[in-house]
Amino acid sequence: MEKKWWHQSVVYQVYPRSFQDTNGDGIGDLRGIISRLDYLTYLGIDTIWLSPVYESPNDDNGYDISDYEAIMAEFGTMAEMDELIEEAKKSGIKIILDLVVNHTSDEHPWFIESRKSKDNPYRDYYIWRDPVNGDVTNSLRSIFSGPAWEFDETTGQYYLHLYSKKQPDLNWENELVRQEVYDMMNFWIDKGIGGFRMDVIDTIGKLPDQEITNNGPRLHEYLQEMNQATFGDKDLMTVGETWGATTEIAKLYSDPKRNELSMIFQFEHMTLDQQAGKDKWDLKALDVSELKQVLSKWQTALGDEGWNSLFWNNHDLPRIVSRWGNDQEYRVESAKMFAILLHMMKGTPYIYQGEELGMTNAPIQDISEAQDIETINMYHERFASGYRKEEILQSINAKGRDNARTPMQWDETAHGGFTTGTPWLSVNPNYKTINAKQAVADPSSIFHTYKRLIELRKHNEIIVWGDYELLIETPAEVFAYYRTLNEERWLIVCNLSEQTHELIIPQEATELIIANYDREVPMGEVELRPYEAFVVKIR
Ligand code: NOJ
């Protein structure tokens, strides 16, 4: 496989609303990101995935865009955006923009036009259908609850919205739509960005009349066309958000020979703690054996025909240390363990802001404390259909998106140093003990484990290119694997439980590469402490 810069990168996701406010309005801004580039440089990352910063009415925090070529006033100006790209570049950091083109905002001029009349030139930019027997056209549901079809009085037709009513789906079958999107992408490419993260890209080939949403028949044709029309001949990185990907589908996207994307986000491992056939709110405990099986499959299946992304977190997912670790007694140990487990794998790792501090979920007592549209709509839908309030809140506290969106905890001053005003979403009250300032100053912090992992990746080809092999003879809750490159072999051992476990190290270890407890080079039979993790060189 031809080696590209992004094979060796570590990406840091910034959710601008919650990163750093500099003007006291309680909302993070571009100036805030610029002011924290030194922190990111010190951490060692070389790429930022920036969640949407475009003009938006914020029905879905920027994932509802009303102008792709303008900056949301709350975040700053286009001049500041240019400055961010420039300043980041000086620090050796590339900026990956969020490309949200499955839908726009209903306040986008295209949709304002489209809904005016059936013969408006923009009508076919969106997906309009006549009612069937006076009702929605079929049973497609919105991810944010309720039907995916919304009736529009003006023309007496329904439009499709896989997300909120304020996020009408674009009609990708319309060539004009595709051309507009490519032009917009080129506008940003010309500004010197490093690539795109593509929001729910697997739904652009949908066939709504057949209730097919992801993996539609023309999806890959569109992506190849996009590649040709925009980034294909440039050295950019692209990552598609694809909830419906299997390993075979992942190769269609990321096999370099097919000229589509650099890699995708697959979510199979992220759905292991929900009940089969139900949705994310229907909780189930994680079975570590399943996690091993799923991640090992992804590690080995792509071979030279694709590339993995590696992540536990993003702005839609709860905090990993709260989700599958222990965010109380073993917060530090379990956060480091998850970092080691992921960052020693093959693929491009993503760190979501605050993950490097071991930031935790932020439970709420009442739905009035929630900000996220998905959470709020689900609450009302489930409440109306007979669920108890406590039961719904339990799901929200486990999986709700606000858990990841509480502001970055920079220091122990008011609101964690995020803002001098009132934050748009409350800062997690634990900011006095969990914050960047303390973490940077403490060489044994979670932050320094991440920093070291990033450094190791930069200096050890085995992490980037080595083969992966699961070590099968382990206790169920121990996840251990080998990485091998030429003559070199590393063993990664992670205890995903609070219990101690015995493990025989099959070969003689020569060097301890990284660990989350003080220990000697482990040899022979070792006792793993709660959430213990280490990496040893065995050849
Ligand atoms: C996926 C994004 O990550 C999420 O935050 C958003 O709500 C949906 N796509 C819709 O754009």
Q: What is the pLDDT of residues 309-338, one digit of tens each?
A: 999 999 999 999 999 999 999 999 999 999
Q: Report whether residue 333 contacts ligand 1, using a CB cutoff of 6 Å.
A: no
DSSP 353: T
The Cα angle at residue 317 between residues 313 and 320, in degrees rounded to 5: 50
E strand or H helix at 75: none
pLDDT at 359: 99
C-alpha 63 to ligand 1 mean position (Å): 6
The answer to whether the CB of 218 falls within 8 A of the CB of 171 is no
Q: How far is 428 from 304, CA to CA, in rounded Å?
A: 42
pLDDT at 507: 83
Nearest CA among 124, 65, 73, 74 for reference residue 100: 65
The answer to whether the CB of 352 falls within 8 A of the CB of 10 is no
Q: How far is 503 from 95, CA to CA, in rounded Å?
A: 42
- Low-confidence residues of the chain, pLDDT below 50? none
Nearest CA among 365, 362, 355 for reference residue 402: 362
E strand or H helix at 47: strand 47-50
Q: Which two tokens stand for residue 87?
A: 């300043």
Q: Which of 15, 17, 60, 162 to mutate to test the pocket of ligand 1 (most atoms within 8 A of CB)?
A: 60
The answer to whether the CB of 204 falls within 8 A of the CB of 102 is yes
Q: Report whether residue 372 contacts ligand 1, using a CB cutoff of 6 Å.
A: no
The answer to whether the CB of 94 falls within 8 A of the CB of 134 is no
The answer to whether the CB of 481 falls within 8 A of the CB of 296 is yes
The answer to whether the CB of 263 falls within 8 A of the CB of 348 is yes
Q: Which two tokens stand for residue 418?
A: 């995020």
Catalytic residue of the set 29, 59, 199, 355: 199
Q: Report whether residue 98 contacts ligand 1, using a CB cutoff of 6 Å.
A: no
Active site residue 241: yes
pLDDT at 149: 98
Catalytic residue of the set 21, 29, 241, 327: 241
The answer to whether the CB of 12 falls within 8 A of the CB of 197 is no
Nearest CA to ligand 1 atom 8: 63
The distance from CA 73 to its chain's CA centroid, rounded to whole angstroms, is 24
Q: Which of 199, 309, 374 to mutate to test the pocket of ligand 1 (most atoms within 8 A of CB)?
A: 199
Amino acid at 426: S
- Residue 241 CA, closest ligand 1 atom number: 1
Supply the pTM of this predicted model: 0.98
Q: How far is 12 from 346, CA to CA, in rounded Å?
A: 17
What is the widest separation between alpha-carbon atoms in the chain?
A: 76
Give Cβ neighbours of residue 494 (< 8 Å, ≥ 6 apart).
Answer: 337, 340, 341, 478, 479, 480, 531, 532, 533
3-state secondary structure of 111: helix
The distance from CA 33 to its chain's CA centroid, rounded to whole angstroms, is 18
Q: Report whether residue 63 contacts ligand 1, using a CB cutoff of 6 Å.
A: yes
- In this structure, what is the dihedral angle of CA atoms 320, 321, 322, 327, given to the nearest 10 degrees? -170
Integer angstrom CA distances of residue 139 from 86, 142, 187, 255, 503: 47, 10, 38, 35, 52
Nearest CA to ligand 1 atom 10: 63
The answer to whether the CB of 425 falls within 8 A of the CB of 402 is yes
Q: Which of 162, 200, 352, 378 to mutate to test the pocket of ligand 1 (most atoms within 8 A of CB)?
A: 200
